[in-house]
């Protein structure tokens, strides 16, 4: 059984894009591999060093992922800052990471351009902290998006460099996790791009959204005046509506509105009403579970404490062995 590690940034609640993009695969993965899922609260400080409610953000993300189906009995679910061994390994890896290679990281250069007044050391050394998160559990695989591929490559570099410098075969060089299928890309409600909180609250349908909020968001989704000739190609904004319907509605419903579009009889108001109804029905189980878990403080505390204990057992062993390899000894 392979070890898999994946980080979750505490930047908001789960939306349909998150769920269909990766979370569904996490649910399967946790029963097929030895998985470590962690909420990356240290990482969040690189771009938001003075968060208004860090604990609240972590709590909401924890609740959402539990409600979505992450099983703390099948996997290890923990908060990054609850495992201090991560920061020690991060420090040790930084001793073997070079300024030039860190400055060349694409995401670092992009962040410098976007936030020139907040170019902190944590931002520069983000790849070494990510590497520590991964190799502290001797991970074989890491689920990553396109924006993280370079960081994973650097993780392999740091692991290999440690092995070469100390003449050991200690760290595994982790590879990207291949889900074995094409991930579903969920579009946003603004008519362009993917669903995401960064594009605005109204662009995403969150699993915790009330029926009233879902209705308001969907009815405001971008549309047009309709096709002017049969079987006309759908503009991006209209295709987005059909893609959303494809993931939450029945095939018969999708076929019905496709037929209406292709025969120039489409009424987007009717389509949005149906999409609203289907989204409310799809998200209802998640919403109920979120409310149930949020009210159970004892359960949340148990999940966090158990996850920290399991993660620390793995992490402490790695750090203890790394210290011995480097040459730290007790007198």
3-state secondary structure 152-217: HHHHHHHHHHHHHHCCCCCCCCCEECCCCCCCCCCECCCCCCECCHHHCHHHCCECCCCHHHHHHH
pLDDT tens digits, residue range 283-304?
999 999 999 999 999 999 999 9
Model confidence at 197, pLDDT cuts 50, 70, 90, reads low
The Cα 31–Cα 107 span in angstroms is: 32
pLDDT tens digits, residue range 8-34?
887 768 889 888 877 888 888 899 999
pTM of the predicted model over 0.75: yes
Phi-psi region of 40 (alpha: psi -120 to 50; beta: other; left: phi over 0): beta
8, 61 Cβ separation under 8 angstroms: yes
pLDDT tens digits, residue range 26-81?
888 899 999 999 999 999 998 888 888 999 999 999 999 999 999 999 999 999 99
Predicted local confidence at residue 235, as pLDDT: 92
Tokens of 38: 């962690």
List, in order, residues 6 or more apart from 97 with CB less than 8 Å away: 125, 127, 128, 158
Residue 321: strand, helix, or coil = helix
The Cα 75–Cα 144 span in angstroms is: 18
Model confidence at 183, pLDDT cuts 50, 70, 90, reads low
Predicted local confidence at residue 28, as pLDDT: 87
The Cα 50–Cα 134 span in angstroms is: 26
Model confidence at 188, pLDDT cuts 50, 70, 90, reads confident
pLDDT of residue 307 exceeding 90: yes
Predicted local confidence at residue 180, as pLDDT: 61
Model confidence at 107, pLDDT cuts 50, 70, 90, reads confident
The Cα 254–Cα 256 span in angstroms is: 5
Q: Which residues pair with 176 in a beta bridge?
A: 142
The full DSSP string for 70-95 is --TTTSEEEEGGG-THHHHHHHHHHT
Q: How far apart are the first and last CA of the chain?
A: 39
The Cα 305–Cα 72 span in angstroms is: 11
Model confidence at 181, pLDDT cuts 50, 70, 90, reads low
Annotated catalytic residues are 111, 194, 197
List, in order, residues 6 or more apart from 272 with CB less than 8 Å away: 218, 219, 221, 223, 241
Predicted local confidence at residue 192, as pLDDT: 66
């Amino acid at each position: 059984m392979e070890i898999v590690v994946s980080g979750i940034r505490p930047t908001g609640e789960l939306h349909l894009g998150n769920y269909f993009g990766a979370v569904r695969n996490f649910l399967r993965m946790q029963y097929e591999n030895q998985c470590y899922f962690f909420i990356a609260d240290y990482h969040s400080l690189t771009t938001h060093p003075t968060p208004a409610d860090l604990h609240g953000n972590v709590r909401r993300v924890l609740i959402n992922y539990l409600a979505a189906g992450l099983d703390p009995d099948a996997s290890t679910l923990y908060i990054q800052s609850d495992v201090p061994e991560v920061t020690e390994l991060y420090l040790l890896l930084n001793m073997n990471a070079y300024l030039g290679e860190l400055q060349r990281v694409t995401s670092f250069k992009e962040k410098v351009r976007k936030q020139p007044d907040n170019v902190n050391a944590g931002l520069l050394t983000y790849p070494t902290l990510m590497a520590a998160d991964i190799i502290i559990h001797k991970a074989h695989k890491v689920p990553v998006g396109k924006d993280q591929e370079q960081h994973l490559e650097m993780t392999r570099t740091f692991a290999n460099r440690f092995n070469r410098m100390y003449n050991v075969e200690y760290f595994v060089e982790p590879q990207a996790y291949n889900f074995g299928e094409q991930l579903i890309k969920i579009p946003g409600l603004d008519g362009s791009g993917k669903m995401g909180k960064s594009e605005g609250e109204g662009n995403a349908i969150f699993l915790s959204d009330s029926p009233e909020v879902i209705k308001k968001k969907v009815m405001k989704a971008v549309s047009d005046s309709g096709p002017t000739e049969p079987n006309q190609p759908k503009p991006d904004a209209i295709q987005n509506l059909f893609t959303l319907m494809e993931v939450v509605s029945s095939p018969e419903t999708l076929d019905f509105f496709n037929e209406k579009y292709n025969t120039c009889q489409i009424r987007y108001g009717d389509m949005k009403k149906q999409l609203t109804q289907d989204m409310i029905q799809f998200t209802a189980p998640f919403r109920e579970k979120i409310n149930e878990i949020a009210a159970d403080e004892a359960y949340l505390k148990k999940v966090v404490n158990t996850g920290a204990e399991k993660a620390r057992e793995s992490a402490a062993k790695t750090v203890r062995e790394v210290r011995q390899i480097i040459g730290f000894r007790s007198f």
